[in-house]
Structure 1
Amino acid sequence: MTSRFTELVVDCHDPERLAAFWCAVLDFKVIDRSEGKVEIGSWEPTVEEVRARQMPPTLVFIRVPEGKTAKNRLHLDVSPIDGSTDDEVARLLALGAAKVDLGQGPGRSWVVMADPEGNEFDVLRTLAPSNYMTGPKG
């Protein structure tokens, strides 16, 4: 007997706003929505596909009344695929993210950021081919 990792749930105040932010970050689309809940993903899961193989999980944003009170114990890492890490950080800042200092110190190969509701995530090294880079390598 086995299970599949199918969804990552994010508690938030504004599911529509966070879903829109993460759709722009990850090039996902909304695949389901209901009162106080929005699910986004890179694919629309079916029971048959999930049972057949491991598939990328979806993100589900659920409205909750309480705010964020501490550093996340679980966070997302993202890797740019068609530009430098610096270019991606600039793009994410323009989308509403913020750089955050969690005491990570200087000289790290990643950038710690927070989404519009303060949920931390990391921008890792770029995965773009070196001949596709337009800016400094991140």
Structure 2
Amino acid sequence: MVVRVAQYTLDVVDLDLMAGFWAAALGYAVDAGGDGSAKLHPPDDRVGAPTVWLQGSGTPKHGKNRLHLDVVADGDPADEVSRLIGLGARPADVGQRSDEGFTVLADPEGNEFCVLHSSPHRR
């Protein structure tokens, strides 16, 4: 037996801001709960894609993430980085050299994630 990633959970301070950002970034639909949380669902054509659970937290993020998302663009990675910055992401420095195969960004609340320049899947 093995496990698979089914959902990514993120503590957030501003639920509306973060739901809007991640829904637009991933192309997911938002199902807001009445309890300060929201679940983001992938489109039906992305079979097996994990959901994202945003749970309200009264405390902001501190320090570098110990776990983060790696995302891959459907098109040109540089265009995707620009699009994400337009949505509210910002470049982040976590000690990368800038010659790696990814670009590090942070979401509006400072959670780092990487835009991969190519798919990480085996070929």
Question: What's the TM-score, normalizing by structure 2?
Answer: 0.84
- Structure 1 residue runs of 5 or longer lacking an equivalent are 45-53, 128-138
Q: Per residue, is there more helix in 1 or in 2? A: 1
Percent identical across equivalent pairs?
A: 38
Partner of 2:85: helix, strand, or coil?
helix
Partner of residue 14, structure 2 = 14
Unaligned runs of 5+ in 2: none
Aligned to 2:92: 100
Pair 1:67 & 2:52 matched: no
Residue 71 (structure 2) aligns with: 78
Alignment deviations for residues 3-54 of structure 1 (CA, whole Å, 9 cap, x no partner)? 664322100101221111111111100134222101001158xxxxxxxxx9
**2-side partners of 1:125 and 1:2: how far apart?**
28
Structure 2 counterpart SS, 1:34: coil
Structure 2 counterparts to residues 1-138 of structure 1, below 5 A: 5-43=5-43, 55-81=48-74, 83-126=75-118
Paired residue secondary structure (1:16):
helix
Contact 1:96 1:115 in 2 (8 A): yes
Give the paired residue count. Answer: 117
CA contact (8 A) 1:84 1:126 kept: no
User: CA RMSD, aligned part only?
Assistant: 2.1
Cα pair distance change 1:15/1:107, threshold 3 Å: same
1:106 deviates by 2.5
SS of alignment partner, residue 86 of structure 1: helix
User: Could you say what secondary structure the match of 1:55 adopts?
Assistant: coil
- Distance across 2 between alignment mates of 1:32 and 1:110: 31
